[in-house]
Chains A and B, each alone.
Chain A
């Protein structure tokens, strides 16, 4: 599969990780002032706007797909549960890593678990993310139990799987939307194109869209670089669902703008309006336009393109909320420092590296078609032995 040789992407990966290491030294030796362009007027930058807000959003495939497969019994999607849960799990771990960079005193990251403030949205997010990362680790544990032939643990996990999935969906619903609620407290600071009481609803709906788009995106990447093929009909079904969800999101987004009467802001111009335009183009116009064409939504390439556009669009949306929309209230423009970008890129690179390694050494892409009805230990055992044999 992967041969040990120097390839273009490995060189890129090495450079990004090395630059990230330099930035990390600067960050922890000299503090936030020396390693970021954050100021008293602009205290949240790229690490919150991208690494945390987008990171959590891009990990939304986990709860979307586990709900579809285990709760709605759409078993045809089962083959892609594992790569999606792995991405989600990695995503959340990387969000925690990013937080250790961004928090002034990262070594106190556990404080919200013991020093409660139930009035704080951030407190709720901290708890949800902690609990959900635990849920994801348990959901993902099946892969490890299977790999190391721990069948008793595997059976135990199966028994608690449905409650786990339900907890995962609830926790995701709460914190995906709460990332939007974080901004409900700044009506005077966030630009009216993004400040709305519906922020939590919009964040939740977009998380579902992103969950679907990420699954399409990953499936395509995996088939390209890891030669693990996923069936086209599955991706097509995801594409159709994505189309519906994007339409729902777009309707809610524009109804909200209409009801709040902020369309007049658009005539004022300025870079906020341009970035809003870019967001709408990438989130709504382009992917919906593409997916409405039957030829596009039936081809792997067309689906990939639509998914990538949609992902870029929602990344733009999160960055607009966290950075573009907040810049107007500060007295200066914020452009991330190289260290901020370098750490972000290194974290992404690290994520890709771990995913590739996991895909290489763990049974992530094996076609596990076991029906939950098969519970007899011998059958399960035989099946997994057979599967691990196929893996080798």
Chain B
């Protein structure tokens, strides 16, 4: 039932209409200067990178098990049943752990505001809830960005790679990365070329901290009993001495 976005770099012509549609959808400014910016920011949730004529779109990956949602101390992020990972601004305290922890460095900050918030692509959650495709997918003139059921899009991506006669890297980025994402990418050149970090695990990062956190209740009970026991043992000497009518042995 979960929705996803499939971006196929081989179909992209770099027209940046997705950038513009995204800005309009989210009430952000957009002009030639902003169009020229080659990075995501608090006013640019998606960007079409141009690396020597090769295009690649960057946007939130909408992980199946989102790192941002797991690290946020106030649960400001959550993944909806439909797929988008959304942000509740009214909860955010501004610790920026999401930015630090995101394996794709997607969340961006309003550094120039006095009371800033985190900003990122929300997969047009409002539209998706109404059954509409994302603004970027709707506007895309070549079908490079496609919106649909995640399972269907995976099948289609596999099909494109199989029929592509080697024009694709044999890899659907996001199929297994960090346990799977709802943004799926196809490319004709390796993803590292566009600055994707090499060696991203297929294990969802939240599992790394969950393993440690899950021991805490046990640790607390064992620790409390153990320390209580140590106190009893170490202080018993004096109690015994007192009961026997002797003076407690001076330690100092």
Contact = CB atoms under 8 A, between A and B. Distances in A.
Interface of A: 28-34, 38-41, 43-44, 67, 70-76, 78, 102-106, 108-109, 111-112, 115-126, 162, 165-167, 169-170, 173-174, 178, 181-182, 184-189, 197, 200, 326, 329, 369, 371-373
A119 B228 contact: no
26 contacts: A40-B40, A41-B105, A43-B99, A44-B100, A70-B231, A72-B230, A103-B95, A104-B94, A108-B92, A111-B74, A112-B93, A115-B91, A120-B75, A121-B213, A122-B71, A122-B73, A166-B231, A167-B224, A169-B223, A173-B223, A174-B219, A178-B212, A181-B209, A186-B205, A187-B208, A189-B100
A371 B227 contact: no
Nearest to A126: B73
- A104, A169, A170, A329 — most chain B CB neighbours (10 Å): A104
- A125, A169, A186 — most chain B CB neighbours (10 Å): A186
B93 A40 contact: no
Interface stretch (B7-15, B110-118, B139-147, B183-191): B110-118
A207 B235 CA distance: 26
Contacts of A121: 71, 209, 212-213
A117 B75 contact: yes
Contacts of A371: 238, 248
A33 B111 contact: yes
B50 interface: no
A41 B238 CA distance: 59
Interface of B: 39-42, 67, 69-76, 91-97, 99-101, 103, 105, 108-117, 197, 199-201, 205-206, 208-210, 212-213, 216, 219-220, 223-224, 227-228, 230-231, 234-235, 237-239, 242, 248, 251-252
Contacts of A32: 109, 111, 116
B251 A104 contact: no
Contacts of A44: 96, 100
B223 A170 contact: yes
A180 to B, nearest CB: 9
Contact of A39 (B75, B111, B231): B111
Given A103-B94, A122-B72, A186-B101, 18 more contacts: A34-B112, A40-B108, A71-B231, A72-B234, A73-B251, A104-B94, A104-B116, A108-B93, A115-B74, A115-B75, A121-B71, A167-B224, A174-B216, A181-B209, A184-B209, A187-B205, A326-B100, A373-B242
A73 B105 contact: no
A38 B242 CA distance: 61
A280 B66 CA distance: 36
A112 B73 CA distance: 6
The dominant DSSP class at the A interface is helix
Contact of B114 (A30, A70, A182): A30
Contact of A105 (B75, B92, B99, B209): B92
Contact of B109 (A104, A125, A166): A104
Contacts of B235: 73, 372
Contacts of A31: 111-116
A249 B227 CA distance: 22
A78 B91 contact: no
A286 to B, nearest CB: 31
Nearest to B41: A40
A188 B208 contact: no
Contacts of B197: 188-189, 329
A122 B231 contact: no
A120 B216 CA distance: 12
A166 B112 contact: no
CB-CB nearest 3 A-B residue pairs: A104-B94, A33-B111, A73-B234
A30 B197 CA distance: 34
A381 B10 CA distance: 84
B219 to A, nearest CB: 7
A252 to B, nearest CB: 16
Contacts of A109: 93
Contact of A170 (B40, B224, B239): B224
Contacts of A125: 73
A116 B91 CA distance: 11
A373 B248 contact: yes
- B92, B212, B224, B228 — most chain A CB neighbours (10 Å): B212
A161 to B, nearest CB: 10
Contacts of A67: 227
A120 to B, nearest CB: 5
Nearest to A128: B216
A181 B252 contact: no
